[in-house]
């Protein structure tokens, strides 16, 4: 059964300045990367057209496939932790207290720390010989060494990202919670709703908008993460924590393989675009239902 509704698209003219800015900051660089991806570039003036050779090579490269699977696992893990944890933290923040601004400032602090500093903080914090976390875990009788054990490296990486970014989800969720009018709560109370029902049927539907933003931001950010794991583990032990961006940086900057790195970048970009579109369209489809 089809349903039709006319659209007025004249308002799109208002976004023309943004389109121009995006053209210069994103579209032109992206076109350049596509141009690079079909050539073997020896130096600035010496390059040869190779067609889709680099794409074929990248798609059949086991290191790319492994890094991709690690990347998906990492993004899913941090989203599974950060979204519920952020909502839980937001629900714990008092809405009309003199302490609220202070709590919000403290909560926002991890977001203000530069990414390489976050990596350095956790690198020292988790060290089994001098770091508070590492020494404490070992003192409890649990052998912990993130520099030699892949599982420990992963746990440390996930903990670091959760520490760094849960605040963002919490702040967005808090903004969503404060926008819910009190009569909704009063009506739910009159209906005898318990705390879970209040959350499930009053708060969660009205948080949907901010949670979509939170998930999209975290999905894109986590898929592009580079600095923190690079500083914390350097991709190790072995390649255990080498994510896509680090593998790409090794190709582009370390080995100066500009052609293969450009093909890698285009594939990487397409996957981010696909995931964001799939997620966005599934939410839109659910809203329409």
Partner 1 sequence: MSWMAWTLPTALFFSAIGLALLILTVFELRSPTRLAKGFLPMQTTRGDRFFISLLSAAFIHLLWLGTLGGALWGASLLAVLWAVLLMRWG
Closest separation in Å from C-beta 78 to partner 1: 25
Which residue among 112, 140, 190, 285 contacts partner 1 (CB under 8 A)?
285
Sign, CA dihedral 72-77-80-85, equals: negative
Structure tokens at 12: 């799109």
> Given the complex with partner 1, which of 38 and 211 has the nearer CB atom?
38
Site string for partner 1, 213-252 (x = CB under 8 A): ----------------------------------------
Tell me: does residue 32 bind partner 1 (CB under 8 A): yes
The whole-angstrom separation of Cα 223 and Cα 265 is: 12
Cβ contact 71:223 at 8 Å: yes
Query: What residues from 119 to 138 belong to the interface with partner 1 (CB under 8 A)?
Result: none
Number of residues that bind partner 1 (CB under 8 A): 36
Query: Is the previous residue joined to 237 through a cis bond, with omega within 30 degrees of 0?
Result: yes
Question: Whats the size of the chain, residue-wise?
Answer: 289
> Given the complex with partner 1, which of 2 and 143 has the nearer CB atom?
2
Which residue among 46, 49, 62, 109 contacts partner 1 (CB under 8 A)?
49
The values of phi and psi at residue 141, to 5°, are 95, 5
Q: What is the number of alpha carbons within 13 Å of residue 73 lying toward its C-beta?
A: 15
Residue 235, judged by CB atoms within 10 A of its CB (0-12, 13-18, 19+), counts as buried
> Given the complex with partner 1, which of 7 and 194 has the nearer CB atom?
7
Closest separation in Å from C-beta 281 to partner 1: 6
Binding site for partner 1 (CB under 8 A): 1-9, 28, 31-32, 34-36, 38-39, 41, 47, 49, 51-52, 55-56, 59-60, 267, 270, 273-274, 277, 281-282, 284-285, 288
């Amino acid at each position: 059964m089809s349903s039709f509704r006319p659209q007025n698209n004249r308002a799109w003219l208002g976004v023309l300045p943004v389109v121009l800015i995006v053209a210069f900051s994103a579209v032109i660089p992206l076109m350049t990367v596509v141009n690079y991806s079909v050539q073997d570039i020896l130096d600035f003036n010496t390059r040869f057209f190779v067609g889709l050779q680099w794409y074929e090579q990248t798609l059949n490269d086991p290191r790319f496939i492994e890094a991709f699977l690690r990347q998906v696992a990492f993004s899913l893990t941090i989203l599974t932790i950060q979204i519920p944890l952020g909502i839980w933290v937001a629900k714990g923040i008092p809405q009309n207290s003199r302490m609220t601004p202070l709590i919000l400032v403290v909560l926002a602090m991890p977001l203000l720390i530069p990414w390489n500093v976050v990596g350095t903080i956790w690198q020292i914090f988790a060290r089994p010989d001098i770091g508070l976390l590492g020494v404490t875990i070992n003192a409890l009788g649990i052998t912990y060494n993130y520099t030699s054990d892949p599982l420990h490296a992963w746990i440390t990486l996930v903990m670091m990202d959760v520490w760094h970014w849960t605040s963002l989800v919490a702040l967005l969720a808090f903004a969503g919670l404060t926008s819910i009018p009190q009569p909704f709560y009063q009506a739910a109370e009159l209906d005898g709703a318990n705390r879970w029902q209040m959350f499930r049927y009053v708060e969660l539907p009205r948080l949907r908008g901010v949670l979509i933003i939170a998930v999209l931001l975290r999905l894109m950010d986590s898929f592009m993460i580079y600095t923190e794991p690079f500083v914390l583990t350097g991709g190790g032990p072995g390649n255990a924590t080498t994510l896509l961006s680090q593998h790409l940086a090794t190709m582009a900057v370390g080995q100066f393989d500009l052609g293969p790195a450009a093909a890698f970048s285009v594939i990487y970009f397409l996957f981010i675009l696909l995931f964001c579109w799939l997620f966005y369209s599934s939410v839109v489809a659910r809203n329409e239902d």
